[in-house]
Amino acid sequence: MPAYNEEDVLPVSLAEAVEALEEIAGDWELIIVDDGSRDRTPQILAEWSAREPRIRVLTQVPNQGYSKALIRGFYSAQKDVVFYTDADAQFDLREIVRLHPHLKNHDMVCGYRVGRKDPPIRFVTSFTFNKLQSLILGTSARDVNCAFKLFRRSFFEKVKLDSDGFLIDAEIYIRAKKAGLTFTQLGVTHRPRTMGSTTVKLKTVTDTLRQLWQLRRSI
């Protein structure tokens, strides 16, 4: 779970994550990557990790971006199954149990947002990005950037991720394809963001499209 300036929603997302993990997993760890937050995020994480030793906090200073935060978390994970989501509490993490059985036949199980609860501009940018990444990279993801993905840990032993910015999800799909790894997609419930704010801006979209072309040339 990457976190950047999430002081408003973080107590909620941590509480929900711990409750869900206690319910669905016998052995778990929760890795939070604090990506150079300037608000009370570090203090909140320190308080929670002091109470719950299975919460592991990794800190990046200065801010290095969403992709670098996720990559650090992926390669720091110690359990056999790795899940990632954002710190904005827009998913019901208990739905992990619906994805898990599909790891028997696939290396990765990807959620796609059903009844997506985002502002209209996010629908437009997401639709455009999904179409363009499909054309540029030749992948068949229904909802590329959905932050609800489950992996076998061996996935990260077989692929090397090195994205910057917000390109990480597209890179996950294309690296999996090139490595001969398989995935399936399931619908997951999406909730409105009630606290905090997204870091995705128009410039983020244009930067990501430029990076898509760079990624294609590097594969």
Q: What is the DSSP string of 56-122?
A: EEEE-SS---HHHHHHHHHHH--SSEEEE--TT--S-GGGHHHHGGGGGT-SEEEEEEES--S-HHH
* Pair 111, 146: CB distance under 8 Å: yes
187: three-class secondary structure by DSSP: strand
Do 2 and 65 form a contact (C-beta atoms < 8 A)? no
Domain residues for the domain of 132 are 2-218
Confidence of residue 117 (pLDDT cuts 50, 70, 90): confident
Q: What is the CATH number of the domain that holds 30?
A: 3.90.550.10
The rounded distance, in Å, linking the Cα atoms of 60 and 78 is 19
Better pLDDT: 208 or 54: 54
List CB contacts of 148: < 8 A, sequence separation 6 or more: 85, 91, 95, 99, 110, 111, 113, 188
CA 184 to chain centre: 16
pTM for this model (two decimals): 0.86
**Domains of the chain: total:** 1
**pLDDT of the residue at 137:** 75
Cβ–Cβ < 8 Å for 107, 182:
yes
Average pLDDT, the chain: 89
Comparing CA positions, the residue from 6, 66, 70 lying closest to residue 200 is 66
pLDDT at 201 over 60: no
pLDDT at 134: 73
**198 pLDDT more than 60:** no
Nearest 5°: phi and psi at 162? -145, 25
